């Protein structure tokens, strides 16, 4: 029997686990650095000019198994420059749960988050060597708009 995946806003008690996931996604920063960053995002003390959200995927047995960091940008490559766009800054699912729909649920929640701010487009990017991320984006309806590998999806 499959466990139900819950998508929700990150809470302070998630920060330690999220710091490890941030490090796995962005290994150039230390777990400690990521811990400080994610805590400031979750507790609202980050000094930002646009709204940002950290949403997590959680199952009862294993706890938090993935996250998406989503924010608003004034513009994104390939998107209408006349209005802000939702942007996937980071997207991670624990290896054990990949290809099970968890990532799709996180992205759907990020898109809904952006819609709540009036966005009609969503942007994202991936490094050019990351074929897995590119295929995952394409599977969710994102299209390549630049060889820098930026994505967009109509909301």
Average pLDDT over residues 28-44: 94
Long-range own/partner contacts, residues 3-6 (CB < 8 A, 24 or more apart)? 3/59, 3/60, 3/61, 4/59, 4/60, 5/57, 5/58, 5/59, 5/65, 5/101, 5/102, 5/105, 6/57, 6/58, 6/59
Q: Where are the alpha helices (DSSP H) in the chain?
A: 15-25, 31-43, 102-115, 131-139
> Is 139 or 81 the better-scoring residue by pLDDT?
139
pLDDT on residue 149: 63
3, 61 contact by CB (below 8 A): yes
pLDDT on residue 70: 97
Mean pLDDT (the chain, rounded): 92
Q: Domain map of the chain by residue range? A: 6-154
Q: What is the pLDDT of residues 38-92, one digit of tens each?
A: 999 999 898 888 899 999 999 999 999 999 999 999 888 888 888 899 999 999 9
9, 64 contact by CB (below 8 A): no
Q: Tell me the C-alpha distance between 112 and 132, whole Å.
A: 24
Which CATH superfamily is 6-154 part of?
Gcn5-related N-acetyltransferase (GNAT) (3.40.630.30)
pLDDT on residue 136: 94
> Is 78 or 133 the better-scoring residue by pLDDT?
133
Q: What is the pTM of this model?
A: 0.90
pLDDT at 1 over 60: no
């Amino acid at each position: 029997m499959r466990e139900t995946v819950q998508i929700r806003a990150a809470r302070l008690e998630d920060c330690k686990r999220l710091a490890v996931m941030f490090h796995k996604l962005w290994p150039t920063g230390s777990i400690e650095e990521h811990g400080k960053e994610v805590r400031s995002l979750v507790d609202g003390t980050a000094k930002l000019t646009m709204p940002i959200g950290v949403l997590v995927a959680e199952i009862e047995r294993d706890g938090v198994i993935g996250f998406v960091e989503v924010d608003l940008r004034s513009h994104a490559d390939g998107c209408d420059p006349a209005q802000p766009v939702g942007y996937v800054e980071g997207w991670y699912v624990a290896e054990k749960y990949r290809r099970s729909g968890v990532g799709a649920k996180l992205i759907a929640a990020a898109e809904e988050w952006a819609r709540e701010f009036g966005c009609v487009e969503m942007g994202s990017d991936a490094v050019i060597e990351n074929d897995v991320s590119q295929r995952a984006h394409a599977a969710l309806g994102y299209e390549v708009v630049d060889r820098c590998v930026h994505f967009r999806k109509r909301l």
